[in-house]
Amino acid sequence: MAINVDSAVSEIGSYTGKIVTIERFILDQQRSYPDATGTLTNILYDIALAAKIIASKTTRAGLADILGSAGKENVQGEVVQKLDEYADQIIFKLNDHTGRLAVMASEEHEGIIPIPAHFPLGSYVLLYDPLDGSSNIDVNVSIGTIFAIYKRKTEGGRGTLEDCLQKGRDLIAAGYVIYGSSTMLVYSTGQGVHGFTLDPTIGEFFLSHPNIRIPATPKFYSVNQGYEQFWSEGVKRYTEWLQGKDKTAKPLSLRYIGSLVADFHRNLLSGGVYYYPADSKDPTQTTGKLRLVYECAPMAFLAEQAGGAATTGTERILDMQPTALHQRVPIFVGNIPLVTKAKEFIREFD
Ligand code: AHG
Ligand code: MN
Ligand code: MN
């Protein structure tokens, strides 16, 4: 029986009629930089590999205790780890020895993660949220991984905290992996945003969403509205505006998952705004919940690359100089007119 190649191609996902793996796409992009050494290409490729390993683990998450029944040990005799620790270790272990990085930092560690002394050093810096939305794991809801890559600022020796605390506008690359009904890797190196879908049967990411642009007509607003009573007047009024209560705009639907990656991904593809404002529910946390370097800056970079915007309400996220690794900031990210409107309400009422 003849194989219908066209339908096979469209099933896998084609880009201008070609089957494009993530490896080939990254290599093709690298060619537009004549001075590129291939180092960034390899870091991205290692992140894609980490994504596959984490995806295979997360899809078996509920089985961990069953398979590791002998007192929390799995069949290889290793201790069964919590998934966010596992994801953290996978990303670290794939990147610690390659000679491409000067330093790493992870949401799971208080301080920077130095490259072990016996491994060579490189000129890049990798920051990551190994498992975002991890409170959703136990209830089988989408989770993700977020990554941010910079060039080191310091010269020579091992990378330092200063290398990790850079403005988002200096990002070399950023992206996320979403472990959803399918696993996707979405990233940008400053040449648009591109999405790849994992074919789990062969373990390969294929280009499925080239050059993602936020749709001009937004559909959703996304916020934890359960905390409304703790919001500022500006944020409350902004939310009413999104709901169309003043009749100047059409109401948007509310969607909120509670995994930044999943909420961001949906709004990137469907249009809308995601926000986690400052609130007063915890008096020690008046700056919002999400972390600048691990969550807000990489998502802001992707949003801008896709034709959107991201602000704290008063300042462009990508212009913020981080002062600490785990610094939290308010964020409003999505379609430009919706983000602009948030700034207007905050300026007028807060
Ligand atoms: P993490 O799992 O990496 O700690 O991040 C959780 C974050 C983010 O993913 C999500 O958008 C937010 O927490 C949800 O917070 P609320 O439950 O307060 O809405
Ligand atoms: Mn997170
Ligand atoms: Mn996390």
The tokens for 223 are 């916020």
Is residue 5 assigned to a domain?
A: no
3-state secondary structure (DSSP) of residue 226: helix
**How is the chain split among helix, strand and coil, in percent rounded to 5?**
35, 25, 40
CA distance 293 to 286: 18
Taking a C-beta distance cutoff of 8 angstroms, is the pair 190, 305 a contact?
yes
Of the three residues 155, 182, 211, the one that is the final residue of a domain is: 211
- Closest ligand 1 atom to residue 224 Cα is 19
Is the C-beta atom of 84 inside 6 A of ligand 1? no
The span from the first CA to the last CA of the chain, in angstroms, equals 69
Is the C-beta atom of 256 inside 6 A of ligand 1? no
Is the C-beta atom of 259 inside 6 A of ligand 1? yes
pLDDT value at residue 81: 67
Is the C-beta atom of 129 inside 6 A of ligand 1? yes
pLDDT value at residue 259: 97
pLDDT value at residue 121: 97
Is residue 49 assigned to a domain?
A: yes
Domain total of the chain: 2
Taking a C-beta distance cutoff of 8 angstroms, is the pair 192, 302 a contact?
no
- Name which residue sits closest to atom 14 of ligand 1, judged by CA: 258
DSSP string, 107-152: TTSSS-EEPPTTS---SEEEEEEEEETGGGGGGT--EEEEEEEEE-
CA distance 213 to 307: 6
- Name which residue sits closest to atom 18 of ligand 1, judged by CA: 224
Is residue 276 assigned to a domain?
A: yes
Is residue 163 assigned to a domain?
A: yes
pLDDT value at residue 39: 94
Quote the ligand 3 centre to 146 CA distance (angstroms).
9
CA distances to 4, 174, 196 from 14, in Å: 14, 23, 11
Q: CA-CA-CA-CA torsion for 302, 33, 41, 166, nearest 10 degrees? A: -50
Taking a C-beta distance cutoff of 8 angstroms, is the pair 85, 37 a contact?
no
- Give helix 39-58 / helix 22-31 axis angle, nearest 10°: 160
Determine the longest span between alpha carbons in the chain, in angstroms: 69
CA distance 13 to 205: 10
CA distance 20 to 13: 8
Quote the ligand 3 centre to 3 CA distance (angstroms).
44
Per-residue pLDDT of the chain (350 residues; tens, 9 = 90+): 444 545 544 555 555 568 999 999 998 888 888 778 899 999 999 999 999 999 999 888 777 665 555 555 555 555 556 888 999 999 999 999 999 999 999 999 999 999 999 999 999 999 999 999 988 888 889 999 999 999 999 998 999 999 999 999 999 999 999 999 999 999 999 999 999 999 999 999 999 999 999 999 999 999 999 999 999 999 999 999 999 998 988 999 999 999 999 999 999 999 999 999 999 887 776 789 999 999 999 999 999 999 999 999 999 999 999 999 999 999 999 999 999 999 999 999 99
Is residue 2 assigned to a domain?
A: no
pLDDT value at residue 29: 87
CA distance 211 to 214: 10
Of the three residues 164, 193, 211, the one that is the final residue of a domain is: 211
Give residue 306's domain range.
Answer: 220-349
pLDDT value at residue 8: 47
280 plus 343 within the same structural domain = yes
pTM tops 0.75: yes
pLDDT value at residue 68: 52
181 plus 253 within the same structural domain = no
245 plus 197 within the same structural domain = no
The amino acid occupying position 100 is R
194 plus 241 within the same structural domain = no
Residue 223 dihedral angles phi and psi, to the nearest 5°: -160, 155
- Give Cα 275 distance to the centre of its chain: 15
Residue carrying the six token digits 């990554």: 147
pLDDT value at residue 1: 43
Taking a C-beta distance cutoff of 8 angstroms, is the pair 268, 174 a contact?
no
**Could you tell me which residues are beta bridge partners of residue 176?**
146, 186
189 plus 264 within the same structural domain = no
117 plus 33 within the same structural domain = yes
